[in-house]
Structure 1
Amino acid sequence: MPVEKAEKDIQTLVGQITSGDIKLPEIQRGYVWKPTQVAKLIESLYRGYPTGSLLFWRTDEIPTTRGIAIGTAQARSAVQPLYLLDGQQRLTSLHRVLNDHIEAQIVFNVETEAFQNQSAATAKDPRWIKVYEVARPGAKQFPLVTRIHAAVPSLDPDLIGERLGQLAAIRSRPFHMEVLTEYPYDEIAQIFVRVNSGRPLKTSDLALATLSARWNGILGKLEDEAAYWAQRHYQDLDIPFLTRALTGTVLGRGLSTWSHGRLVAASDEELERGWATVQRGLRHLIPLLQQNLRVTNSNLISSHIALLPLIVLLGERPDVPLDQETANGILYWFLLANLRNRYSGSTDTRLGQDIPAARGDEPVRQLLGNLGVRGAHLEVTPQDLVGRTVGSPYFFLSFLVAKNAGARDWWYSTEISATAEAGQKIEYHHIHPQATLKSHGNGYSKTEINDLANLAFISAKANRKISDRSPSLYFVDPGLPPLTEQELAAHFVPYDEPLRHADAYRDFLNARRALLAEAMTKLLDRYRPAWLDETAAVADPLAGSSLELVLYQSSWDTGRVVVKAKGHGVEWEGTFGFAELESAVEAADGGLDSDLEIAGEVLPVRVESDTLTIPIGPFLATGTIDAWRKTLEREKADAQPLSQCPVIPPRPWDGERTPFPVTSIE
């Protein structure tokens, strides 16, 4: 086969691009990488991770070429050029970084060793330094070390020098090259298509593929187990979930890009033991949730990842009866892990803490310690419920307290149930209908209208009787049995007649939040282990915070999203393109980081396993790709006319950011 093999360092390859010794054939696509992907490449080189090989073509023909996106024209080559077939995005990115391209301002945090694109916040922080300053030819380290140490005296100058030296060394990092020769253009085109036709695998896909290759018959085991739980209304325990549970049990942590290497090395005994743990753990855990907590359907649970440490705990514990205190402690941790959005971001890291804790001598104590509530009393306050919507874990808790209070479907006397079917299927509906609030003169916001305190668990049949009428009418409809104070109290709906009118809607929200918060606290206290110390209550870090998106769209324009954020004494608003958000979510589904321009600033969109994080104003909006997709669909369904989109001047956020679950975005 006419293939030559060689190695060249990055600095040489970048120089060959400048001199025109490396060119792009016409069949290449354009440059598409976002700054976040460039930052990931630089980080991989810094850490010594594999970054793949390069494929070139050398020919006596003179094929049609296209320009490389380096911002300047290439020189005329004095030698026979190489035509780049695979590696354009990487080499173009490296050229941009090492030549200070305006769209490749990658910065490095000397303290945390993190990489990202330059932002308003990093430009103000002396710990962040531009990669170009360190890795460009002729860069001197001593002045940089002196400058950084002077600005951040707590950083050891030797450590600064070591890390800058490691960063500068990426110039010398070699790439393996394969050069095809003697191939005609038509064959090269076929090779190019085959090389570039693959799609990146998500970590869960890769883990399943690795397990399938490593352990014959595992797919059948997963399918059978998923079918078993689907028949019991736990349909979310599907093949991807079970794959994650098995890998978590075997590896002792969450999925990551490198999980497959460890799975390949796992012994047959480890895999068999891990699968036995998953099956045994589920058969102890799910009945506990169904019978003790009354969680009869998996679609009620806001975070299924929170099941994984408990699967390990119950799957590996000795075969002895489970005492009531331990059972309560398990359920208490489960509720708090959901309320505190334990796995809304950094899932792999958190599981790396919680799975080992579940294997400890006192697993419940250690798990609660990881949550930071081992010595505190968790109390739900009305303020905690402000701005919460259907995606919030408090929504899950609101169902549980209504269920425990004996709530029934209005006018049909059927106990609310997450497993009811057909017309009696329990759904959530607005107590004050949206139609009467949207047109009201008090100007109720989207977040207020869809507030958790305005949602009740009743059937679609009951909701049709309400239609768009105010509670002041349907609570006392002479054509229907009256809704008694006792019936409404089971749903924690205040009975005060003045609160039934849209004019007093905000007073209604405040009154119902107080009732719900008290009931939620009592429910949590029921499962709180007696050995926990009674100290100061732990405040919810997102109490009073909200993040609202409104899409303005037309038939000829994908539209813009207006963002309004509130939290911790700050208010912020900005805009971004809806199509760009959709593209970022699709890229994340392929395992790729990307970027999104928000309020005039290009910001990194990061994906870890199936979790996507986007910095939006004062928040880091984080959630699964499926949760982001649901958010997109909801916004499209509620889109407003583009002509009504307000003009908001760009105001990049330059402060700290707080994690915010996408499920709580309104």
Structure 2
Amino acid sequence: MAKAEASVEELVGMIERGELRLPEMQRQYVWRSTRVRDLLDSLYRGYPSGAILLWETDEAVPLQEFAVTQQHNPYQSTRLLLDGQQRLTSLSAVIRGEPVKVRGRQRPIDLLFNLEHPDTLTSVTEVNEESNDDEDLVEDQADASEDELLKRFNEMTFVVATRKLEQLPQWVKVSEVFKTDSDAPFLKAAGISGFDDPKYEKYSQRLARLRAIRKYVYRMDVLERSLSYDEVTEIFVRVNSLGAKLRSSDLALAQITAKWKHSLQTFLEFQAECTKLGFDLELGIHLKNLMAFATGQSRFKTVTSLDLAALQKAWKESGDGMRFAINFLKSNVGIDSPALLSSPFLLIVLSYFGHRRGYQISAEEEAQLRTWTLIANAKGRFSRGSSETILDQDLSALKNDKPVQDLLDRLRSQVGRLDITPEELEGRNQRSALFKTMFMAFRAAGAKDWSSNLAIALDHSGAQHRLQFHHIFPKALLSKAGLTSREADDIANLAFIGGKTNRAISDKAPAQYLPPLIEKNHHSVMSQAIPNDPALLDTDSYKAFLVERRKLIAARLNEFLDSPSKAAISNAPGVVHATV
């Protein structure tokens, strides 16, 4: 194995010219902007950033596209990037000022550089600079005041761009700095009028230091041409297994694509199909589903024992199963987005169940399966221990004579009672599985925004209508009363309304804003299980309010879990012929 060195600038140029390509075995680009921010911060400070692993080959190797644009490379000889994709793709996007392509969508990486950053590295409380669509059900706009956020931002060197920060003179766009070697536009925007300004030298030195990231030198390990694709795949898996850099699904993808050439495009096309159905899922979920169909269990440890024919057969069957699972969730259960799932593993269970039953399901089984799905989701079944072990137990149960009854029995033995008690809501917040079920229960009860009367939904367009979770007792109000942020985030203090309504209420006390809303729009407020007792709306009565609302929420949840009509389910007699 040869050793070499290359600067960031040289590596970015190789990517742009198409001289550095990605083999099919690589996972897709997955970094979020905050990870790129941290990488730039490390390089800016001269911290170590690992090595790059390449393979030079003349072999016709299956390739995939980088997340950034590349020119066509007319030469057969290719350098393939085996380790370092996330770093180099990120640096290429930022230095070239180009967006990255993630799951078919263009996404910019907009970072800002603080010309007034502290001279020494400071310990900064993490700032949530971008929403996490994969985990957050709805937005939260009440974490901190604008002044508090700005103070925390000012202690950082790089941040993910916001419109307000872009307007401040000390913040400059990182990609714009890399596009020119002239400091003049940035110094002028920062109010520097001449060489005698005390900030001139400091800002100029910092801009030069930022551009010096292009000269950062990476060590490269280059695998020899004599190695075969299978040998390189084994090296890739071993290197990443030892370093624990990739998830098991990423390593499995490498092993699968080594046996099934050009299969990645097949997987990505199906992933895009599911996205169009409203279920944008990680590729790893589809691969885990493939394993369930191929082996009857979900772990990737047996992937090496599967031959090409077995992989192709299992993939076709797992695709039919996933279509059934998505259709069942949307049409029979009322779950129309993965944001409402406590775990995507529920999809794998439903997928395998449909397959095992030949998609011929009786009305009794459908009702039981719906009940299991809702309760397993509400109780967070796959978060109560090893999720893969629990999934494998459920897959095993589906091979029995009464599969759905076995699923329910296993669930009952795990969580105890299958209904929701007020006590279960204590200490829960917006990260709880019950929070997702609470949204579905309120939606099924006809909950609407308290001002616009738009039914609550996850996909409203426009900032004023986009769904947010609202603190009935505002966090600022509770903070003044000596209550902690954790106490304020109690699930019994949360409701679902649009952004405009939430901003209009702001930090008003519930005793001030709720009575007029109840009088004007009684059903819209009461559909979210809010106590209608004025005595409970004073800050001093906050804990009593929580106790009473937990009772109301629990009753609403149980009504939703027990009543198919609440989820708009048609429970016709006979046999359900599910579409796949």
What TM-score comes out, normalization by structure 2 length?
0.53
Check whether the contact 1:380–1:520 (CA below 8 A) recurs between aligned residues. yes
Residue 448 of structure 1 is matched in structure 2 by 487
Aligned mate of 1:214, from 256, 259, 267: 259
In structure 2, C-alpha distance between the alignment counterparts of 1:472 and 1:461, rounded to whole Å: 20
Q: Which among 512, 515, 518 is matched to residue 555 of structure 2?
A: 518
Any conservation in 1 of the 2:429–2:489 contact (CA below 8 Å)?
A: yes
**Within 5 A, what are the aligned runs for 1:344-383?**
344=383, 345-373=385-413, 378-383=418-423
- Per the alignment, do residues 347 and 481 of structure 1 end up closer, same or farther by CA in structure 2, a change over 3 Å counting? closer
Corresponding position of 1:283: 323
Q: Write the distance in 2 (CA, Å) between the matches of 1:419 and 1:483.
A: 26
Q: What does residue 365 of structure 2 align with?
A: 326
Deviation at 1:302, TM superposition (A): 1.5
Question: CA offsets per residue over residues 219-247 of structure 1, 9 Å max, x none?
Answer: 11221111112223211x23122112112
Map of 1:264 onto structure 2: 304
Contact 1:289 1:295 in 2 (8 A): yes
Q: Would you say the 8 A contact 1:488–1:495 is kept in 2?
A: no
Structure 1: give runs of 5+ residues left out of the alignment. Answer: 2-188, 529-666
Distance change in 2, residues 1:190/1:450 (3 Å): closer
Aligned to 1:486: 523
Whole-angstrom distance in 2 between the partners of 1:481 and 1:513: 19
Report how far residue 273 of structure 1 moved: 2.9
The structure 1 residue matched to 2:469, chosen from 416, 425, 428, is 428
- Equivalent residue for 1:437? 478
Contact 1:277 1:312 in 2 (8 A): no
Q: 1:263 to 1:290 in 2, by over 3 A?
A: same
How far apart in 2 are the matches of 1:402 and 1:425? 17
Aligned-partner residue type, residue 356 of structure 1: S
Query: After the TM superposition, which residues 499-518 of structure 1 pair with which residues of structure 2 at under 5 Å, given as runs?
Result: 499-518=536-555
2:472 alignment partner AA: I
Alignment check: 8 A CA contact 2:322 2:348 kept: no
State the secondary structure of the residue aligned to 2:367.
Answer: helix
CA spacing shift, 1:338–1:279, aligned 2, 3 Å:
same
Summarize deviations over 1:146-172 as a string: whole Å, max 9, x none.
xxxxxxxxxxxxxxxxxxxxxxxxxxx
Structure 1 residue identity aligned to 2:456? I
Give yes or no for contact 1:410–1:483 (8 Å, CA) kept in 2: no
Which residue does 1:244 correspond to in 2? 288
Contact 1:411 1:483 in 2 (8 A): no
Superposed CA offset, 1:300-347 (max 9, x none): 212112221111111332243x33321221122122323333222312
Q: Measure, in 1, the Cα distance between the counterparts of 2:274 and 2:497.
A: 26
- Mapped to 1, the partners of 2:455 and 2:279 lie a distance apart of 20
Structure 1 residue 448: Cα displacement = 1.9
CA deviation string 1:351-388 (max 9, x = no partner): 22111212332210121222235997522111110011
Residue 297 of structure 2 aligns with which residue?
Answer: 253
After TM superposition, give the deviation of residue 444 of structure 1 in Å. Answer: 2.2
Q: Is the 8 A contact 1:281 1:316 kept in 2?
A: no
Tell me the secondary structure at the aligned position of residue 296 of structure 1: coil
Other-structure match for 1:462:
501
Name the residue aligned to 2:333.
293
What displacement does 1:190 show?
9.0
Q: Is the 8 A contact 1:302 1:338 kept in 2?
A: yes
**What CA distance in whole angstroms lies between the structure 2 residues aligned with 1:407 and 1:467?**
20
Root-mean-square deviation over aligned CA pairs: 3.0
Question: Partners of 1:527 and 1:269 in 2: how far apart?
Answer: 41
Q: How far did 1:217 drift?
A: 3.1
Number of the residue aligned with 2:102: none
8 Å Cα contact 2:428/2:490 also seen in 1: yes
What one-letter code is carried by the residue in structure 2 that aligns with 1:204?
Answer: S
Q: Which among 199, 212, 229 is matched to residue 274 of structure 2?
A: 229
> Contact 1:475/1:483 (CA < 8 Å) preserved in 2?
no
Q: Write the distance in 1 (CA, Å) between the matches of 2:310 and 2:223.
A: 40
Query: Matched residues in 1 for 2:500 and 2:277: separation?
Result: 25
1:205 paired to 2:247: no
Cα deviations by residue, 1:418-444 (Å, 9 ceiling, x for unpaired): 22222322221111111111111xx32
The answer on whether the counterparts of 1:428 and 1:457 sit within 8 Å (CA) in structure 2 is yes
Which whole-Å CA distance do the structure 1 matches of 2:379 and 2:521 have between them? 35
SS at match of 1:429: strand
Most deviating of 505-514 and 369-378: 369-378
Maintained 8 Å contact 2:289/2:348 = yes
Q: 1:464 to 1:346 in 2, by over 3 A?
A: same
How far apart, CA to CA, are the structure 2 residues paired with 1:474 and 1:234?
37
Structure 1 stretch 481-490 or stretch 202-211: which is displaced more?
Answer: 481-490
Tell me if structure 1 keeps the 8 A contact 2:531–2:549.
yes
Residues of 2 paired with 1:285 and 1:348: CA distance? 19
Q: 1:98-151 CA deviation, whole Å, 9 max, x = no partner?
A: xxxxxxxxxxxxxxxxxxxxxxxxxxxxxxxxxxxxxxxxxxxxxxxxxxxxxx
1:240 is aligned with what amino acid? G
1:483/1:491 CA distance change after superposition, 3 Å? farther
TM-score between the two structures when normalised by the length of structure 1: 0.46
**Residue 251 of structure 1: how far off its partner (Å):** 2.6
List runs of 5+ in structure 2 lacking aligned partners: 2-218, 225-234, 566-580
SS of match in other structure, 2:554: helix
| Equivalence for 1:49 | none
Counterpart AA for 2:442: A
Partners in 2 of 1:369 and 1:353 — Cα distance? 12
| Cα deviation, residue 520, structure 1 | 1.2
Contact 1:405 1:490 in 2 (8 A): yes
Instruction: Select the structure that is richer in strand.
Output: 1
Residue 339 (str. 1) matches residue 378 (str. 2): yes
Match of 1:397 in 2: 437
1:305 corresponds in structure 2 to 345
Matches within 5 A, 1:469-480: 469-476=508-515
**Aligned mates of 2:462, 2:470 — CA distance in 1:** 16
Letter in 2 for 1:522: E
Q: Secondary structure at the match of 2:382?
A: coil
Contact 1:204/1:255 (CA < 8 Å) preserved in 2? no
